[in-house]
Homo-oligomer: A and B are copies of this chain.
């Protein structure tokens, strides 16, 4: 069968003519698409209307693009077109919803209490219900009621105390992954401490000597406990902050892929949080993988400059647009936000990011205003 087609460059001119030639439903959907990109968050990046979205470079420099032409598509049936439209409707709904509201927000900064010069953090581990995306509620095991657990930020040389109350039905422990602390504080049951039984509390105390993007997580029955949410960021700033590269935005991005699905900071798309920066700003992203699989994170439109691995400066920065983050690894990158727009940012293992029903899981966006 033959269908008319539309070149986006001429959509503005052609829209009236086209509207009359098409069934109302598809017309509705296309308008919906425009509404989508003009929606709440995406409006922040000033998406242009479909007609304006035609390549700027075409405008005056090139002759007018041909009007829509019809071409034969032999194997496209009415049924498959309806199925394609239905697929697009679901894809559109996901994008329109982004960033979707969901109950609970993980990875929030936990301010320490200062007790006689010691930075004290209080954690409670407990089972809870966690909404990973709108309407998808699942059992999580969480520190302080959030997944990931609260972000702790200290400085190298600080004395740090972490109190943990175990209200889980299992024993637990905390390993400060990447911090070169005394063996007694390493958090491995039966090697460096007894397990923390249900109903017990326990205290870790140490002076982190090495700065960097570290993590903390359960080291007991960890395949289950970390998968369910007992993990978080533990950032150690250098003693001399002039050692740090300048960044206008500092964003921690914790990947997980366990029992609660493919998540970034505890949420799956469209409930993931976009990273927002102004044109010209530098964003620092601290990737942390607490899952069981690699996640090669791909940023559209701009490259990432890799500056550190597991908290240690790389000997020389290097550039990429797809960074393979393996379980247990942390990578720090800088993005110079010199390209305005809403840029998809996702795991490039495509089944972690998109299904026939649209984007899900490990997808977010970097919005450069």
Q: List residues of A whose CB falls within 8 A of some B CB.
A: 1-9, 11, 26, 30, 33-34, 36-37, 42, 45, 47-48, 50, 53-58, 61-63, 65, 68-71, 73-77, 80-81, 83-85, 87-88, 91-92, 95-96, 115-116, 118, 126-127, 159, 165-171, 175, 177-178, 180-186, 188-195, 197-207, 210, 219-224, 226-227, 292-294, 296, 298, 300-303, 309-312, 314-322, 324, 326-330, 339-344, 348-351, 353-356, 365
Contact = CB atoms under 8 A, between A and B. Distances in A.
A36 B190 contact: yes
Nearest to A224: B356
A310 B321 contact: yes
A175 B314 CA distance: 30
A344 B178 contact: no
A65 B330 CA distance: 34
Nearest to A90: B221
B312 A65 contact: no
Contacts of A203: 7-9, 55, 58, 65
A321 B201 contact: no
A324 to B, nearest CB: 4
B301 A181 contact: yes
B310 A303 contact: yes
Contacts of A53: 184, 192-193
A172 to B, nearest CB: 9
Given A191-B344, A194-B33, A207-B57, A87 B221 contact: yes
B198 A73 contact: yes
B319 A318 contact: no
A76 B167 contact: yes
A41 B365 CA distance: 48
